[in-house]
A and B are shown apart, each in its own frame.
Chain A
Amino acid sequence: MPVDDHTLAQVAMSRAEYDRLIDRLDREPTEVELGMAGALWSEHCGYKHTRPLFKHFPTTGQYVLTKVGEENAGAIDLGDGWCAVFKMESHNHPSAIEPYEGAATGVGGILRDIFAMGMRPIALLDSLRFGPLSIPHNRRLFKGVVAGIGGYGNCIGVPTVGGEVQMHPAYSGNPLVNAMCVGVGRREHLLSAAARGVGNPLVLVGADTGRDGIHGATFASVELDEGSEERRPAVQVGNPFMEKLLMEACVELAEQHRGWIEGLQDLGAAGLTSSAVESANRAGTGFELDVALVPRRERNMTPYEVMLSESQERMLVIPKREHLDDVLALFRKWELHADVVGTVTDDQMATIRDGGSVVARIPIAVLSDPPQYELEPERPGELDRLQAEDLDAPPDLAAADATAALLTLLASENIASRQWIFRQYDHQVLNHTVVKPGGDAAVLWLRGTPRGIAVSTDCNGRFVALEPRVGAAMAVAEAARNVVATGATPAAITDCLNFGNPEKPGVAYQIEQSILGLSDAARVLGTPVISGNASLYNEVPEAAVLPTPAIGLVGVLDDIERHLEIALHEGDEVVLLGAVLEQPVATLAGSEYQALTLGRAAGLPSIDLEFEARVQRLVLEAHRRELLTGAHDCADGGLAATLAESCMAGATGLDASALAVAGRLDAALFGEAPSRFVVGTRDAGTLLELARAANVPAVRLGTAGGARLRLGPVDVDIEAMRETYERALPERLAGVEAE
């Protein structure tokens, strides 16, 4: 029976892909087989356009235990038998349609990835992008997403400790919601998501299966349009309480009964289809699954619907046969129901039954081998024009306007205090949050040891848009700088690659160049990629999102009691490391100051990765020698905003008024050159000496104290500044948005 275009569109499969499927099967697929292949061959599950580029990622390093792609998330060694797993994933399209549930289930999904590996989730972070908050629809999305993240994380009891949010017109209507989770545990408790052991049962545990989320994976693989609202049924509904029980049961299995099971796999995009197929593929086995054994929450569901449902809070467990009863009893104790729905086979086939009849029988190899497309990148012509713009043409900031300019920046929606967001997230549960949201990176204590980890997410889409290879490298560098500013050594990264439609040459260029830039930086900074996710087709009819390869980075801290924070303390000598005061005008390219004054991004940002690594090493070395009292990555809003944040955090002023600024004032105060830190020290002489020896420029800015920040012509009261900084977001978000 020839398949019509509508059916193919539903599974987001092209006619050519359909022909390829027939070719591989040597027959027409059944309806269930088509649905399964469509989901696994979707961009979301199959990485059709990005996989060929993954070879560029550095994947090994001294900390790496589990490499990218081997399991649901990578793992790093924390020493003394401890390890951490982490991953970041997108839930953009669902959040665009239904912000609360879209964001909530994004959190739920990333948590399952982590505890599927037997690790206890200890931290959540979110990298968010929205259109300007002046538009009511964006405010509605913003509030819904924040509420959804809090709703899920607060209920399940995993702290939301950090992340970042940026607003830009290109995200209007297509917000980005990327959730990251970090889990820790003992190395010997790491679980595999492999369906090993022929004859072992497949056990489905957790929520009943409903019609929610059918075609979620394919929905994530097409552009949003006016009809997208009708896709609301493709958005899942979360139940964090159920997931809490699942998480406790799975962690208990890993920590106490590792020997009972062969594998544990979460159900995410494409539900039972992807979890069963992926786990069999990993083990080189096959499976037989009877949909009649799957508990449902709705009547008359077809085998197709059962196999493609994305109902949340479900896990697939592969117990050893002899421990099936033990495993079922453990889930019963946690008041969960668990059912045997299939068996591991040795035929490398996915066989789906509906009671007595076989509804699908398809080689795992076919399902796991989606078509791969070489991108056809073409450098957008406008890049050369934007980069060539004369940034010196706009007049420099007048000294008399410098203070007002700083206050405007501190009140801008991209820099203003995030307190409105973070106070809605439980960031302290589990009693290990050492540095709370608001610093450069969250610091978490591995209780029972002196160690900790530092975690940060980062990406400035404006830099990436101006020159993708540079911007992506800058994202990695900034994430690493954030972690270094706490005194931790960067260990590894996860990435969430958010782009528009890869079939468009300009977007293809952004994807390719970003992956190259990300890889350049990861290699030079010693932070291999251990996990990741790609989210393409982030477009509305008007435009694509800014290219946003969001980076999540984890660093290792040997002694939690010796971490650094951004606050300055009275009496600290304040030093800028990594640059002199005078900055070329090019450092305004892609900056927040430029966005506010010019209304757009222009110019060519740049980064010297070898230099960046040198500056980061210098900060870690100075910290090792106990020279530092605090450190802050100098980034958004430039030197002036960075100092302002450190002053506010420490409730102290700084007098650097005597410094003469040569060159353009706006670039010196607000330029966003990378590779810079503001640090506090009690021994500026030794620190400056160390910097000289490392061939890193440094400037002594002044001594912290008093109630005012004075920096060149800037002169502002700390508490007045705080008022502006803290009131900006609540004021923009006041009131209730209509649907």
Chain B
Amino acid sequence: MRAAVLVFPGTWSDSDCMYALERVGVPSRRVWHRETHLDDDELVVLAGGFSYGDYLRCGAIARFSPIMGAVQSHAANGGLVIGICNGFQILCEAGLLPGVLMRNASLQFRCQDVHLLVDNRASSFTQGLDPRHPLRIPISHGEGNYFADEATLDRLEDAGRVAFRYCDASGVVTPEANPNGSVRNIAGVLNERGNVLGMMPHPERACDSRLGGEDGNAIWHSMLESVGVSSR
């Protein structure tokens, strides 16, 4: 398996994602947003950052980048796409995922560990995760307050497309565990086919015990197992 890590002007988690992928044995390459092809990369990563400074709505300019056409085709062909933080925002703006990410309810940036309840095990990204054990993964964003209308939310829940919810350390979904005001504590959602995941927390930062934890690796391992690549 090989991964393409997209770099938009203002992306800053590209090297972090490449390091996390390296830790689980996945080679990766950077792809500048002006490129138009994705060769045979099986996984596309839209990493965190402030594309175009987030001066307009987050992700609203990046979705027009030349590479996004190739991302759309890759997703349409069932290829794996993960958008983390700013990458999640871009996927929402590009229409690959439903909903929007608004300013945090606190009106402040938040960088802290959160716990994630695995709410769906039917996707490549989540099938190998243990729903009884919440993942401890950091967030780092000012605009991660997920919102969609009630009908959309019901549809997402009915179809099992809520991948992760903010919960407390014991796995209980509570208002206190919600760091940004996201509706129904949603931290990550899937597209209809389950091959596109967007999430605000940064699994690539929880990839090495020397850096405070490695719960994020479970997501990459799950993905690798889903495509028949044994990891570790």
Q: Does A244 contact B (CB under 8 A)?
A: yes
Of residues 235 through 278 on chain A, the ones whose CB sits less than 8 Å from some CB of chain B are: 239-242, 244-245
B109 touches A426 (CB 8 A): yes
| Cβ-neighbour of B142 out of A154, A427, A430, A436 (below 8 A) | A154
Given A241-B9, A241-B10, A425-B111, also A561-B210 (CB < 8 A): yes
Question: Please, how many angstroms separate the alpha-carbon atoms of A436 and B211 in the complex?
Answer: 9
CB–CB A429/B210 < 8 A: no
Contacts of A424 in B (CB 8 A): 108-111
Nearest opposing residue in chain B for A448, CB measure: B19
B205 & A154 in contact (Cβ 8 Å cutoff): no
Q: Is the CB of A428 within 8 A of B138?
A: yes
B205 — which chain A residues lie within 8 A by C-beta? 428-429, 431
Question: In the complex the two chains form, what is the Cα distance from A334 to B10 in whole Å?
Answer: 10
Listed stretches B47-55, B127-135, B224-232; interface member: B47-55
B109 x A429 contact (CB < 8 A): no
0/1 per residue, B49-74, Cβ < 8 Å to A? 11011110000000000000000000
Q: Is the CB of B9 within 8 A of A431?
A: no
Q: State whether B9 touches A429 (Cβ < 8 A).
A: no
Contacts of B54 in A (CB 8 A): 155, 241
Is B212 positioned at the interface, with any CB of A under 8 Å from its CB?
A: yes
Task: From A423, A427, A447, name the one whose CB has the most chain B CB atoms within 10 angstroms.
Answer: A423
Determine the residue in chain B with the shortest Cβ distance to A447.
B19
Please report the number of residue pairs spanning A and B whose Cβ atoms sit closer than 8 angstroms.
Answer: 89
- Given known A-B contacts A157-B12, A244-B12, A426 and B111 have beta carbons under 8 A apart: yes
Q: How would residues 123 to 154 of chain B score, 1 for a CB under 8 Å from any chain A CB and 0 otherwise?
A: 00000000000000010101000000000000
- B224 → chain A, closest Cβ, in Å? 20
**A240-B53, A426-B111 known; A156 vs B211 contact (CB < 8 Å):** no
Contacts of B19 in A (CB 8 A): 431, 447
A469 to B9, CA, bound (A): 48
Knowing A241-B50, A241-B55, A425-B109, the reply to whether A156 touches B12 (Cβ < 8 A) is yes
Quick check: B212 and A436 within 8 Å, CB to CB? yes
Of A156, A241, A431, most buried by chain B (CB within 10 Å of CB) is: A431
Chain B residues lying within 8 Å of A241, measured Cβ to Cβ, are 9-10, 50, 52-55
A112 to B202, CA, bound (A): 27
Q: How far is the CA of A276 from the CA of B175 in the complex (A)?
A: 56
Chain B, interface SS category? mixed
| Interface size range of chain B in the complex | 20 to 34
Cβ-based interface call for A434 (8 A):
yes
With A428-B205, A431-B211 known as contacts, the answer to whether A154 contacts B10 (CB < 8 A) is: no
A239, A428, A431: the one within 8 Å of B53 (CB): A239
Residues from chain B with a CB closer than 8 A to the CB of A150 are 109
A514-530 vs B: 1/0 string, CB under 8 Å?
A: 00000000000000000
Choice from B52, B110, B208 contacting A431 with Cβ under 8 Å: B208
B16 on the A face (CB < 8 A)? yes
Chain A stretch 163-178: residues in CB contact (< 8 A) with chain B:
none
Which residues of chain B are near A451, meaning CB under 8 Å?
none
Which residues on the A side are within 8 Å of B190 (C-beta)?
A: none
For the complex, give the distance between the alpha carbons of A241 and B58 in Å.
13
List A residues 124-138 near B (Cβ within 8 Å): none
- Nearest Cβ on chain A to B169's Cβ, whole angstroms: 13
Residue numbers in B under 8 Å from A239 (CB-CB): 53
Could you list 11 further interchain pairs (A-B, Cβ under 8 angstroms) beyond the known A154-B142, A155-B50, A423-B111? A240-B50, A242-B53, A244-B10, A425-B109, A429-B48, A430-B12, A431-B15, A431-B20, A431-B211, A432-B211, A433-B212
For the complex of A and B, the 6 pairs showing the least CB-CB separation, nearest first, are A157-B12, A241-B53, A431-B16, A155-B50, A426-B140, A424-B109
- Give me 7 A-to-B residue pairs in the complex whose CB atoms sit less than 8 angstroms apart, sorted by A's number: A155-B10, A157-B12, A244-B10, A428-B140, A429-B140, A431-B205, A434-B212
